[in-house]
Structure 1
């Protein structure tokens, strides 16, 4: 990967991560099934599936788990959402790939997903701690939305250990500061 492409991909990834950090705080009122964003106080009324769609968008799930989403400025058809990506994220932990969430969740019950979302620690750059900190009803809404989309696509490439170089494209993360 050329240095220019590496810098561009790294800059786009950092922008996506910063956007995620700004957008992730969401509160839910279970009494009226309404989602409110702290910045605007806006409401997104509707079903649990609609709420899940909203959370997938504002939490930045598509930024990594939907190939080309950020480059298309979020204007990809919903049928292409959450199918994973073949772009790897390489760092001291090895190389990870954004999972195909539609296949992953098609093989899990709702209770398995909720337990996994609230307890699993995943490799970088997945912000597992943001998922862990979500309200149980938000996690449930995401599950129901993803299941509503139905399974599709292919599994993401397997994890590549730190001492091996991935065969496909990847974004190189620097090591931790000393």
Structure 2
């Protein structure tokens, strides 16, 4: 009986120690992740990601970012912009009023949904995100087409690993917005 009490007491001490270790290590992980998210948000705000990736609502002061659609890309519920390839023949590039659709020599590209929703980047791994940001691969897939302009991924290759990981952490922490963005249309298909 005495041995059982000693064994039980030791078991409780071991379990308590493991729980303490877990408790002590998790706050650091949470702190590190919170710091990454904060840095990622800073980068999103500094790089102006919302300028192209957030639909706008028109006001008497011009376009204002629609916070309810934060980083959700070209709004699939909005009417499709009417853009003529004749604009490209004139040597021009066109944009819709909220800067989520662009027409240029590549065709028409639509700003991607970069929220944490499955229709955005919610299912992406960090490797997908890195490949998209550093190699310009659509959806971060190795054998996919290139990311279309005006996404400045060629400038983002200079970001540090910490910056890319922080951006990813922030975007994965955003409110998910269900929005299936229209597919890119090559110029020869217009």
**Structure-2-length-normalised TM-score:** 0.55
- Partner of residue 137, structure 1: 162
- Partner of residue 53, structure 2: 65
Over the aligned positions, Cα root-mean-square deviation in angstroms equals: 2.3
Q: Structure 2 regions of 5+ residues with no counterpart?
A: 1-30, 76-99, 137-145
Moved over 2 A (4+): none
CA deviation profile, 1:26-64 (whole Å, cap 9, x unmatched): xxxxxxx9xxxxxxxxxxxx7111111110011011000
Distance 1:163 1:116 in 2: 25
Cα drift, residue 115 of structure 1 = 2.8
Residues 62-101 of structure 1: pairs in structure 2 closer than 5 A: 62-68=50-56, 71-72=63-64, 76-77=66-67, 79-86=68-75, 87-101=100-114
Aligned residues: 118
Confirm or deny: 8 A CA contact 1:52 1:141 kept in the other structure.
Answer: yes
**Structure-1-length-normalised TM-score:** 0.59
Larger Cα Rg: Structure 1 or Structure 2?
2
Confirm or deny: 8 A CA contact 1:99 1:156 kept in the other structure.
Answer: yes
Q: Structure 1 regions of 5+ residues with no counterpart?
A: 1-32, 34-45, 166-178
Which residue, 13, 28, 44 being the options, matches 1:56?
Answer: 44
